[in-house]
Amino acid sequence: MTATLQQVPLPLREQAEVRDGWLAHRLAALLPGWMDDAGIDLWVLVGREHHEDPVLSTMLPATWLSARRRTVLLLHRTAAGVDALAVARYPVGVFRSVWRPGDDDPSATQEAAQWAAVRRAVDDAAPRRIGIDVSAVFAHADGLSHTDHEQLLAALGPWADRVVPAEELAVRWLETRLPEEVAAQHAMNALVHTTIDEAFSRAVITPGTTTALDVAWWIRQRFHDLGVDPWFQPTVDVQRAGLPGVHEDLVVEPGDLVHCDVGLRTLGLTTDTQRNAYVLRPGETAPPAGLVAAHAVGNRMQDLVTGALVPGRTGDEVLAAARAGAAAEGIDGDVYSHPVGHHGHGAGPAIGMWDAQGGVPGTGRAVVRTDTTWALELCVRVPVPEWGGQVVRMALEQGIALTGAGVDYLDDRQTRLITL
């Protein structure tokens, strides 16, 4: 496969073809090695309509917007690769159906017949270890519902004592990006940056009239009109000389620092971005030097985090190294970066949280891997002389890809304030 996707959004039919191609490639080329690493030779995923396992959702055909009734997928590691099986009422894309309702005992309920078919498939596989999606650490890997868990164990019978959590396998599946997916995220970030540039312009903002909330809703509407979805409600806020704090309910005025936090979803992937703008006062041609310097400190904090983002380290170790570097340079800031892929707050190592700067229990102990994408999210606090020494919170968030070649900014990072 080659990384050829240059722009988004694609027409819906083309999106489905691309996504199904990615899925088939991941199942054939990547999953066998991950299953070997996890020591799991049968991975069982179960989901019901309106209650989908987060991992199972990424394996459904792109034309499926949810599971159909109860959908059971079995991924069996064989000498030839992975045999992808489906025990479901309807055909499930690239998965090979191993059950047709009506082929069983006519006196059995469909539910009983389906679980009997699952048992037959497990008997045929004769697995040493069966992985299921239960996890106390990652919500993404904890998608097996209580009811389905009970019924699956009952159906497995003597195989039930071979069941183990598939947490490691689920995280690897969700966090790893194909080169083609990274290319798509480059294009997605470019679309986000273009939208923010448009939002932070006089075409959208009329100082003295437009509110921060108006701009947030403009961004959401713009995403809708472009044919992409937000994965959270965009936010826009204002900081102003003489008015300490960050405010989302103000009319935008000349001299304001305006900040946004937005994320879109398309092709089954997400973005997460924060950028900053300055509203020029009459007669000004550039932002105050103190705000320019504060943004540069934010860029330096980004450098410290990306420099510490070394494969093999845990998220907590990356956090500690970045914060130690910041302390040595006298930078007052926080780091709360996270993987971004199928989910905006994706599976994988957490590098701090805004309220957990000493390390993140559980997810902070996960190990950083290559071929992953991240939202490099952080803030710095810097006094601005032109604002009477008032401290400004400069928050930045930028998509990055971590590959064997190092860190690559997705459509480049913001290095200067947008002006309008």
pLDDT(225) > 60: yes
The one-letter amino acid code at 245 reads G
HSE value, Cβ hemisphere, 13 Å, CA-based, for 396: 26
User: Would you say 368 and 318 are in contact if contact means Cβ atoms under 8 Å apart?
Assistant: yes
pLDDT, position 2:
41
User: Would you say 371 and 177 are in contact if contact means Cβ atoms under 8 Å apart?
Assistant: yes
Q: Where in the chain is the domain with CATH 3.40.350?
A: 12-174
Question: Two tokens at 150?
Answer: 């009970």
More confident residue, 179 or 68: 179
pLDDT, position 207:
98
**What 3 state SS string does 300-321 have?**
HHHHHHHHHCCCCCEHHHHHHH
Query: Looking at residues 391-400, what average pLDDT do you find?
Result: 98
Of 361, 370, 371, 377, which is closest to residue 316 (Cα–Cα)? 361
**Domain spanning 176-419: which superfamily?**
Creatinase/methionine aminopeptidase superfamily (3.90.230.10)
User: Would you say 180 and 4 are in contact if contact means Cβ atoms under 8 Å apart?
Assistant: yes
Query: Looking at residues 172-179, what average pLDDT do you find?
Result: 98
User: Would you say 96 and 85 are in contact if contact means Cβ atoms under 8 Å apart?
Assistant: yes
More confident residue, 125 or 4: 125
Kindly report the CA angle at 167 between 34 and 320, in degrees rounded to 5? 95
pLDDT(107) > 70: no
pLDDT in tens, 87-103: 999 999 999 999 988 77
Q: How far is Cα 386 from Cα 261, in angstroms, rounded to an integer?
A: 26
For the chain, the average pLDDT equals: 96
| Beta-bridge partner residues of 353 | 356
Separate counts of helices (H) and strands (E) for the chain: 10, 19
pLDDT confidence band for 315 (50 / 70 / 90):
very high
pLDDT, position 3:
41
Question: Two tokens at 216?
Answer: 């947030």
This prediction has a pTM of: 0.95
Question: Two tokens at 190?
Answer: 């470019």
Order of strands, sheet of 96-97, starting from the edge strand that comes earlier in the sequence: 96-97, 81-88, 70-78, 42-48, 130-132, 163-165
Q: How far is Cα 46 from Cα 103, in angstroms, rounded to an integer?
A: 21
- Tokens 């690559």 found at: 408
Q: How far is Cα 418 from Cα 231, in angstroms, rounded to an integer?
A: 24
Query: Looking at residues 178-191, what average pLDDT do you find?
Result: 97
User: Would you say 191 and 199 are in contact if contact means Cβ atoms under 8 Å apart?
Assistant: no
Q: How far is Cα 355 from Cα 88, in angstroms, rounded to an integer?
A: 43
pLDDT confidence band for 5 (50 / 70 / 90):
low
pLDDT in tens, 243-269: 999 999 999 999 999 999 999 999 999
pLDDT, position 108:
78
Which run of H or E residues covers position 180? helix 179-199
Of 272, 288, 215, 292, which is closest to residue 247 (Cα–Cα)? 215
pLDDT(4) > 60: no
- Tokens 């380290």 found at: 313
Q: Where in the chain is the domain with CATH 3.90.230.10?
A: 176-419
pLDDT(1) > 60: no
- Residue 232, SS3 per DSSP: coil
Phi, psi of 352 (to 5 degrees): 75, 165
Right CATH for 12-174 from 1.10.20, 1.10.238, 2.60.40, 3.40.350 = 3.40.350
Q: How far is Cα 140 from Cα 55, in angstroms, rounded to an integer?
A: 7
Chain centroid to Cα 79, Å, comes to 32
> Could you give the percent of the chain with pLDDT greater than 70?
98
pLDDT, position 100:
86
Query: Looking at residues 38-63, what average pLDDT do you find?
Result: 96
Is cis: bond before 361, omega within 30 of 0?
Answer: no
The secondary structure of 233-267 as a DSSP string is: --EEEEEETTEEEEESSSB--TT-EEEEEE-EEET
Question: Two tokens at 49?
Answer: 């309509």
Of 70, 41, 73, which is closest to residue 58 (Cα–Cα)? 73
Q: Taking every pair of C-alpha atoms in the chain, what is the biggest distance, in angstroms?
A: 84
